[in-house]
Amino acid sequence: MTSSCSCLNSSFFSKFDPAAAEKKIIRFIRKSVRDAGVSGIVLGLSGGIDSALAAALSAKALGAENVHPVFFYEASETSASFDSDDLRDAAALCNRFSLTLQKINLQSAFVSASSSFDDSATATTAGNLKSRLRMSLLYYYANQNNLLVLGTKNKTERLIGYFTKYGDGGVDVDPISHLYKTEVRLLSKYITIPDSILTKTPSAGFWKGQSDEDDLGMKYEQLDALLSFIESDFNQKQLSGFLNENKLTLEQYEFIRSKMNAAKHKQKMPKCLK
């Protein structure tokens, strides 16, 4: 079950300057596009807060006409397996920042790809396949139109490996991967991302009802505080005090440390002989 936390230590989050962060990211996106000699960027727009922030900042940096958001969904003749609220929110974001949304039905590609093997896929392996299919199509579009593929993962996801290797992790440029999820929320509010996105339950969208915080066993505010604490120098006594203050257990701390260790291979180039 997800832990609740009503009184987190806010010293880390209070230092965040959204205005400075916005300017820094806009400069970064502009420089990345200029240095690559491309016309703009393409990204997957899921209806969630991370991709919404990345798209909005890209529009500010490059002009809406040079930003190409794509919404991937799955629908057959008889049913749909995506949340219509996600499409609504993606459209609302595009309307607010004058972006043109493209929609791609991933159903036939996923069925064709997955049926090539046995049908014993778990929800996670199926989700990873969908993530890699999405990224393949984004690169196809980018190659056709001289664009960079923009990533949408944040620092929280990057540190614990909460992304798909060569899926949403396989991009040309990652403009918000230095921001914790909490900072993503603060910056999104600052630049007026639609409220329906700001208040949405975070989800990777692998299956209906999936929740990031349920998967991780804690609120993002707790996780971000923990990750920030782990990155600092601390002793065992300080650890106990931190866990008590943020209503976390030693088991939760060890779980996150294990995820960080397991994620290291996702953050490096493939091994090769020298």
User: For the chain, what are the domain ranges?
Assistant: 14-206, 217-268
Q: What amino acid is encoded at 139 in this protein?
A: Y
Which residues have CB under 8 Å from 12's CB, separation 6+?
A: 224, 225, 228
Q: So what's the pLDDT on residue 202?
A: 79
Q: Give the residue with greater pLDDT, 18 vs 4.
A: 18
Task: Render pLDDT for 172-215 as a digit per residue (tens, 0 to 9).
Answer: 999 999 999 999 999 999 999 999 999 998 776 666 667 788 88
Place of tokens 């529009």: 59
- What percentage of the chain carries pLDDT values higher than 70? 89
Helices within the chain (DSSP H only): 18-36, 49-62, 84-96, 107-114, 123-145, 155-160, 181-190, 195-198, 212-216, 220-230, 236-245, 250-262
pLDDT band of residue 80 (cuts 50, 70, 90) is low
Mean of the pLDDT values across residues 139-163?
Answer: 96
CA distances to 15, 85, 183, 212 from 158, in Å: 21, 26, 14, 14
Instruction: Copy the structure tokens of residue 59.
Output: 């529009």
For the chain, the average pLDDT equals 89
- Residue in 76, 77, 57, 75 with CA at minimum distance from that of residue 67: 57
Architecture of domain 14-206: 3-Layer(aba) Sandwich (3.40)
Q: Give the residue with greater pLDDT, 24 vs 271.
A: 24
**CA–CA gap between residue 45 and residue 222 (Å, rounded):** 26
pTM (predicted TM-score): 0.89
Q: So what's the pLDDT on residue 203?
A: 74
Q: So what's the pLDDT on residue 122?
A: 82
- pLDDT greater than 60 at residue 5: no
Strand pairing report for 102-105 and 147-149:
unpaired
CA distances to 76, 90, 113, 126 from 110, in Å: 11, 22, 5, 9
Q: So what's the pLDDT on residue 2?
A: 40
CA distances to 22, 113, 258 from 51, in Å: 15, 26, 27
Task: Render pLDDT for 25-41 as a digit per residue (tens, 0 to 9).
Answer: 999 999 999 999 999 99
pLDDT band of residue 258 (cuts 50, 70, 90) is very high
In what helix (H) or strand (E) does residue 105 lie, and over which residues does it extend? strand 102-105
- pLDDT greater than 60 at residue 8: no
Mean of the pLDDT values across residues 2-13?
Answer: 47
Instruction: Copy the structure tokens of residue 24.
Output: 């820094």
3-state secondary structure of 68: strand
